[in-house]
Amino acid sequence: MEKPALPVTPMGHALKAHAKAAVELAQMKKNLLLLAHLMNWETAKCGGCGLPILRVKYPSGKVVPYDPDATPHFSTCPEAALIRKEQRKCHGR
Ligand SMILES: [Zn+2]
């Protein structure tokens, strides 16, 4: 049984792939937001700063707050430390 060989990627293609990946990352962010709407999610207010957020519940049970534009709220919230503390409380172990 022969496994299919991995494609050999010349250096120039690798750089192009990098640029493409950056674009795809932005696209993924958009997709994530769309996915969030399909998945278990709810709108809420941040307990720290009071801004509206989306709370997305992943199948793993992890809940991650996002800004309405799909930026993780941790990276924009002035009270991020507070949220983390709150989350730890919720896990209650
Ligand atoms: Zn906040």
Q: What distance in angstroms lies between residue 55's CA and the mean position of ligand 1's atoms?
A: 12
Distance from residue 87's CA to the centre of ligand 1 (Å):
13
Q: From start to end of 1-93, where are the E strands? A: 40-45, 52-57, 63-66
Distance 56 CA to ligand 1 centre (A): 15
pTM, entire model: 0.51
Q: Look at residues 22, 36, 25 and name the one whose alpha carbon lies nearest to residue 66.
A: 36
pLDDT, one tens digit per residue, over 4-32 is 776 666 777 778 888 888 898 888 888 87
70 CA from centroid of ligand 1 (Å): 14
